[in-house]
Amino acid sequence: MPGTRGGLAVLALADSRFPNGGHVHSGGVEEAVARGLITDVGHLREFLFGRLRSAGLVAAVFAAAAAHAAAGRRADWPGLDAELDARTPSPAQRAASRAQGWGLLRAGRAAWQSQALSDLVSTTGRPHHPLVLGVLITASGAGARDAALVAGYHSVSGPSSAAVRLLGLDPFAVNALLIELTAELDDLADTASASAHLPPADLPAPGSPALDLLAESHDHHHREEVRLFAS
Amino acid sequence: MLPDNTRPHGGNGHGHGHRHPVNFDPTATEPDPHAQTPWHGRPFRLGIGGPVGSGKTALTAALCRALGGAVNLAVVTNDIYTTEDADFLRAAGVLDPDRVEAVQTGACPHTAIRDDITANLDAVDRLTERHPGLELVIVESGGDNLTAVFSRGLADRQIFVVDVAGGDKVPRKGGPGVTTADLLVINKIDLADHVGADMAVMVSDAHRMRGALPVITQSLTRTPNAPDVADWVRAQLAVPLGV
């Protein structure tokens, strides 16, 4: 089995230095910290495991499906976009996903030329982040499993970085936490790539009501008091 | 637009067998080859950066007062305390609330203006959509250190603001903010006597560090509308983008 093609793009898209606005999103960590739900590395471990298995899996499933669709001829972009909406019950999380999708689109257009990307935008307007990610992965020559890996990694890398900034946690300990997720991320990528060919409505739909509520609470609070992150 | 000196024999003919990119003959009547208008389909983006407490927000408010009557403008603030600066501008009555956008910087103000400018560009886009014909967007950074400068992808021109009370050795320390900003403003000069700051040293250090780049000293207590900085901004607005 040949190794990943388009490896540079996969690494660049996973890199927190990639300029698509991800650094202003904490994925619920800021709200959890504000409520005293995360105060140390142990709490962060539970949070990250939970986030990877829920929000991370949804993002990975749709990134893989988008990568698969972009490689084919009849992509149902409105269907994928609507089904991801349906799996994201929090309006604040939907807005955060579309904002990061738009940021990725701006950076992606400057670096890649892709007819699938143009089709995605012309049919959905402001597509969700995992869909843009999947299309760019395919445009680079990489595959659905790579898209799932990057999406899953994003779901925990940004929040872990936010926790370091907000709590002053030991960055080596937090980095070690991320590496603990190695097997989990592999399993997630397998699951997501196995479902990539399914019709949008049949894609997996794990949920995380706690994360949904944290996102809504964050959105509510940052209108009346200090919040450093957009979500 | 400056003459393109890299193409000495291209451009406009003037009757001695070759063409210059720009005709320096004052009696020539050929069409002006320069861009006609500074409007390039988007507002001019002016960055205002500098350390915490140096007076970025006060300068932003002063520029709104000085320019607001003649220039269609709006403001993006990056203060880490989210809506604090936006509230200041609104309360000062210098700008309609819907002309101020506050962005969250994820606890990294320098990242938001330099390494990943997405959130700021999104804020500029929202203002541009709300106010067609917008000519100037002032992007005020969160207070940061002497190395924090705006990406050229975000700011067409940038002002770095330091203040007398922050220490008269600051210009000497250099850093990209002091050495490369298009304009350095030394603020609060009315406090120099009170904090024992040597203005002559501060200004000469600033010029030494910056070469030919301009330096303006000011006190918004004495001149609340920042006339010198406002004049500099007007001069920048008169130049087409991309030059």
Across the range B1-24, mean pLDDT stands at: 49
Position B10 confidence tier, pLDDT thresholds 50, 70, 90:
very low
Domain ranges of chain B: 44-237
What pLDDT is attached to residue B88? Answer: 74
Q: Is the pLDDT of residue B4 over 50?
A: no
Task: Tell whether A86 is covered by a domain.
Answer: yes
Over range B4-10, report the average pLDDT.
41
Does A12 reside within a domain?
no
Looking at residue B26, the DSSP 8-state letter turns out to be T
Q: Assess if residue A136 is contained within a domain.
A: yes
Give the architecture (CATH level 2) of B44-237: 3-Layer(aba) Sandwich (3.40)
User: Any bridge partners for residue B160, and if so which?
Assistant: B49, B184
| Minimal CA separation from B79 to chain A, in Å | 9
Query: Average pLDDT, stretch B98-120?
Result: 92
Contact B121 A22 (CB under 8 A): no
Sheet holding B215-217, edge to edge: B100-102, B73-77, B136-140, B44-49, B157-163, B183-187, B215-217
A183 lies in some domain = yes
Q: Is the pLDDT of residue B138 over 60?
A: yes
User: CB–CB of B108 and A21 under 8 A?
Assistant: no
What pLDDT score was predicted for residue B16?
A: 55
The reported pLDDT for the residue numbered B36 is 44
Band (B3; pLDDT cuts 50, 70, 90) = very low
> Which uninterrupted H or E stretch holds B193?
helix B192-195
Chain A residue nearest residue B110, CA to CA: A23
Any CB–CB contact under 8 A between A200 and chain B?
Answer: no
What are the tokens at B163? 């203040």
Q: Give the ipTM of the model, two decimals please.
A: 0.88
The pLDDT assigned to B71 comes to: 95
Is pLDDT larger for residue B85 or for residue A57?
Answer: A57
What is the mean predicted confidence (pLDDT) over B216-225? 96
In a domain, A18, yes or no: no
Contact B122 A99 (CB under 8 A): yes
CB contacts, 8 Å: A103 with chain B: 118-119, 122
Q: pLDDT category, B241, cuts 50, 70, 90?
A: confident
d(CA B125, CA B108): 21
* Pairs across A and B, CB distance < 8 A: 60
pLDDT digits (tens, 9 = 90+) for A133-179: 999 999 999 999 999 999 999 999 999 999 999 999 999 999 999 99
In a domain, A10, yes or no: no
Residue B92 scores a pLDDT above 90: no
pLDDT given for residue A5 in this prediction: 86
Domain assignment of residue A8, yes or no: no
Best CA proximity match to A51, nearest among A188, A228, A220, A230: A188
Tokens of A153: 């990694």
Q: Is the per-residue pLDDT at B73 higher than 70?
A: yes
A165–B104 CB contact, under 8 Å: no
The pLDDT, as a whole number, for residue A228 is 86
Tens digits of residue pLDDT in A113-126: 999 999 999 999 99
Average pLDDT over residues B175-185: 96
Confidence category of residue B84, pLDDT binned at 50, 70, 90 = low
Q: Which residue has the higher pLDDT, B93 or B236?
A: B236
Residues of B whose CB is below 8 A from A162 = 106-107
Q: What confidence category does residue B242 fall into, taking pLDDT thresholds of 50, 70 and 90?
A: low
Residue B191's pLDDT is 96
Q: At what angle do helices A57-71 and A129-139 cross, to 10 degrees?
A: 40
Q: Name the token pair of A203.
A: 């894609």
Q: Give the integer Cα–Cα distance in Å for B175 and B162.
A: 12
Q: Nearest-CA neighbor of B89 among B53, B62, B50?
A: B62
Residue B106 has its nearest CB partner, among A17, A99, A162, at A162
**Contact with chain A for residue B189, Cβ under 8 A:** no
> How many domains does chain A divide into?
1
Tokens 């330091």 belong to which residue? B162
3-state helix, strand, coil in chain A (%, to 5): 70, 0, 30
Residue B39, pLDDT > 50, answer: yes
pLDDT for B2 equals 41
Written as six digits, the tokens of B233 are 């901004």
Ranges in chain A, pLDDT < 70: 1-3, 222-225
Residue A95, token pair as written in the block: 């807005």
Of A165, A166, A229, the CB nearest to B104: A229
The token duo for A85 is 């909406």
Does the structure show a pLDDT above 80 at B22?
no
**Residue of A17, A18, A228, A229 to mutate, testing the B interface (most B Cβ within 10 Å of its Cβ):** A228
**Chain A residue numbers touching B81 (CB-CB < 8 A):** 226
Which residues from B are below 8 Å from A99, CB to CB?
Answer: 122
For residue A217, what is the domain's CATH number?
A: 1.10.4190.10
Please report, rounded to a whole number, the percentage of residues in chain B having pLDDT higher than 90: 65
